[in-house]
């Protein structure tokens, strides 16, 4: 069991269970007028279309074996910019904006993990991608687990799982040890309070509190925080709230052990998801590897942005 002593760079997990919405609103310090950084040097592909007619935009660079990257909740394809640039020297790197996110279509329906998994399936087939290394960060992992639940390993040869708990909301009666292993952050009340805050008039402030106070270590540059916030706010807050509720009520502990392809699990000591939960995931998948970034090496929830050199080297070693 990982020692869960508090670190200055680590957001308090207790804060989620005692009212994350209030914490997020109180931490708000960056507004929606944040500067936007462009996608210079990244090729925007011809939009893919889901079976219900929603366009999915993506960023693509490189040639070779396809590495498809799915962002987390409210995040965008552009946030994989360091992977797109560096890993495209060896692979065909494709980062996709899920429905509602980034530059993709924003319908009034479909903000459920199962729908996003179906969208991903449409995307891989529409692009005729095979032998795919499929990576996801945070909620993107839940999309991948739902994909596996619905479609098995169709077109997928390897998985990259980046810092997502098997289940995010605690069940009544769980011990602290069970919560740590599951990685759960919310109880039902704090989850719905947070979602209500996101969907309400202070939704942008609530988002700013999450970005500024919980997502990154204190060493992450302020101007980059502003850019991350701007990317998050491309997803309408009402839809973001609906998707967060659905995402956080899922429990993937019966799906993860059925994964049958080589898998790399990456976590961080300074993330709000426990290293114990990441190691639990790796133990359930035959032959899976777990790599935990230290708190002093950008090991927060977005370690692939805070320490891209180490992250990219791990991915290259894993894919070969």
pLDDT digits (tens, 9 = 90+) for 57-116: 999 999 999 999 999 999 999 999 999 999 999 999 999 999 999 999 999 999 999 999
- pLDDT beyond 90 at 119: yes
The DSSP code for 66 is E
CB 251 within 8 A of CB 167: yes
Mean pLDDT of 185-189: 93
The set of residues, in sequence order, having a beta carbon less than 8 Å from that of 309 and lying 6+ positions away, is none
34 — pLDDT class (breaks 50, 70, 90): very low
State the chain's mean pLDDT as an integer: 88
Domain segments of the chain: what residues? 22-319
- pLDDT beyond 60 at 4: no
pTM of the model: 0.89
Mean pLDDT of 158-170: 97
| Cα gap 205→24, rounded to integer Å | 7
| Cα gap 300→214, rounded to integer Å | 9
Decide which of 24 and 267 is more confident: 267
Choice among 26-35, 211-220, 263-272 with the minimum mean pLDDT:
26-35
Mean pLDDT of 10-16: 44
- What is the CATH number assigned to the segment(s) 22-319? 3.40.50.1820
Q: Which of these, 208, 225, 207, lies nearest to 216 by C-alpha position?
A: 225
pLDDT score at 18: 41
Decide which of 18 and 186 is more confident: 186
Mean pLDDT of 189-207: 97
45 — pLDDT class (breaks 50, 70, 90): low
48 — pLDDT class (breaks 50, 70, 90): very high
The set of residues, in sequence order, having a beta carbon less than 8 Å from that of 298 and lying 6+ positions away, is 217, 219, 220, 268, 305, 306, 307, 310
Q: Which of these, 267, 310, 245, lies nearest to 141 by C-alpha position?
A: 267
State the Rg of the chain over Cα: 18
Choice among 21-35, 149-163, 193-207, 232-246 with the minimum mean pLDDT:
21-35
């Amino acid at each position: 069991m990982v020692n869960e002593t508090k670190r200055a760079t680590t957001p308090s997990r207790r804060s989620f269970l005692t009212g994350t919405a209030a914490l997020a609103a109180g931490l708000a310090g960056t507004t929606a007028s944040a500067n936007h950084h462009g996608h210079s040097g990244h090729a925007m592909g011809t939009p893919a279309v889901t079976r219900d007619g929603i366009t999915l935009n993506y960023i693509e660079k490189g040639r070779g074996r396809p590495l498809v990257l799915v962002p987390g909740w409210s995040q965008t394809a552009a946030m994989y910019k360091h992977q797109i640039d560096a890993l495209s020297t060896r692979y065909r790197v494709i980062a996709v904006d899920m429905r509602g996110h980034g530059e993709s279509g924003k319908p009034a329906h479909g903000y459920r993990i199962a729908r996003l998994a179906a969208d991903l399936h449409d995307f891989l087939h529409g692009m005729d991608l095979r032998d795919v290394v499929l990576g996801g960060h945070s909620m993107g992992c839940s999309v991948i687990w739902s994909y596996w639940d619905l479609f098995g390993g169709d077109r997928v040869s390897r998985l990259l799982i980046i810092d997502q708990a098997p289940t995010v909301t605690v069940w009544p009666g769980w011990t602290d040890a069970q919560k740590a292993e599951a990685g759960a952050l919310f109880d039902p009340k704090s989850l719905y309070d947070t979602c209500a805050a996101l969907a309400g008039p202070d939704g942008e402030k609530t988002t700013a509190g999450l970005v500024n106070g919980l997502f990154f270590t204190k060493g992450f540059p302020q101007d980059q925080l502003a850019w991350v916030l701007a990317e998050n706010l491309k997803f309408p807050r009402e839809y973001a709230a609906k998707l967060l509720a659905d995402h956080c009520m899922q429990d993937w502990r019966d799906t993860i052990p059925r994964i049958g392809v080589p898998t790399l699990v990456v976590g961080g000591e300074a993330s709000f998801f426990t290293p114990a939960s990441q190691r639990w995931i790796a133990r359930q998948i035959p032959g899976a590897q777990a790599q935990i970034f230290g708190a002093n090496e950008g090991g927060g929830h977005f370690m692939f942005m805070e320490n891209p050199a180490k992250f990219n080297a791990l991915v290259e070693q894993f894919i070969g």
